[in-house]
């Protein structure tokens, strides 16, 4: 009997490459993964059902079971949200929101995409639904609290926790991305770093007084 397993999509993977790796076809992969509406558009961090045995030297497919969620992101924890965000470092939010690579709202002005981007990363990580996503920082914060997200300290923060701040009457939101080699916290999000005031996905974005929310266990 042909084995059914799971393949975690990595950045740069294509469906044809994955099919070749497992000795199957693109059509067969689509049949096993009906959530794929466009074979040219798959997302790093998602999990695919695969059939067959991975070619020697490529590693083995993991069995579908606990921890593998069909049709959603591979990991249902905040760490995956930060990893997803990091894949888009250097991209302009105005371009990214039209690319269909993330479930971002395209109507949001190019200089205020912070909540739009964080919401999209949380959706891709399987942490929130489309109904809980928001392009408004305050509304996103309210939705997360309503879904059971709890305050946490920087000392106890996990990668992917949401960082909310107010500065000069303006709201901003980014993701906590762990600590660097010197122990300093890292943040990632859609920040106003372009010369024209529009946003780009970059490190930083948290300053002054901020607080963190972590998903329910």
CA atoms within 13 A on the CB side of 2: 11
Write down the pLDDT at residue 47.
80
Write down the pLDDT at residue 56.
39
Task: Count the neighbouring beta carbons within 10 Å of the beta carbon of residue 199.
Answer: 27
Beta strand pairing status for 210-214 and 62-63? unpaired
Write down the pLDDT at residue 12.
65
Q: Using an 8 Å Cβ cutoff, are 154 and 177 in contact?
A: no
DSSP state of 62: E
Q: Please state, in angstroms and rounded to a whole number, the distance separating the CA atoms of residues 123 and 117.
A: 10
Mean pLDDT by 10 residues, the chain (217 residues): 63 74 80 82 78 44 33 39 89 93 94 96 92 96 96 92 87 90 88 92 82 91
**Domains of the chain (ranges plus CATH)?**
4-63 (3.10.350.10), 78-214 (3.90.1720)
Write down the pLDDT at residue 96.
94
Q: What does pTM read for this prediction?
A: 0.65
Sheet holding 185-191, edge to edge: 150-152, 210-214, 162-167, 170-179, 185-191, 200-203
Write down the pLDDT at residue 172.
93
Sheet holding 4-8, edge to edge: 47-51, 4-8, 62-63
Beta-strand runs (E) in the chain: 4-8, 47-51, 62-63, 150-152, 162-167, 170-179, 185-191, 200-203, 210-214
């Amino acid at each position: 009997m042909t084995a059914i397993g799971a393949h975690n999509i990595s950045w740069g993977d294509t469906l044809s490459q994955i099919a070749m790796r497992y000795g199957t076809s693109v059509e067969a992969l689509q049949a096993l993964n009906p959530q794929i509406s466009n074979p040219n558009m798959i997302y790093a961090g998602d999990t695919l059902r695969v059939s067959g045995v991975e070619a020697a030297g490529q590693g083995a497919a993991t069995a579908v079971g606990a921890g593998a969620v069909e049709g959603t992101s591979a990991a249902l924890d905040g760490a995956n949200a930060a990893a997803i965000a990091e894949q888009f470092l250097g991209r302009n939010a105005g371009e990214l929101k039209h690319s269909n690579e993330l479930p971002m709202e395209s109507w949001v002005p190019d200089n205020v995409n912070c909540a739009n981007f964080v919401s999209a990363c949380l959706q891709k990580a399987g942490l929130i639904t489309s109904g809980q996503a928001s392009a408004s920082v305050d509304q996103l914060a309210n939705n997360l609290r309503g879904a059971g997200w709890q305050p946490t300290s920087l000392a106890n923060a996990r990668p992917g926790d949401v960082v909310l701040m107010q500065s000069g009457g303006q709201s901003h939101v980014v993701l906590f991305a762990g600590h660097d080699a010197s122990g300093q916290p890292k943040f990632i999000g859609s920040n106003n770093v372009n010369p024209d005031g529009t946003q780009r996905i970059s490190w930083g974005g948290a300053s002054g007084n901020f607080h963190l929310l972590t998903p329910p266990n």
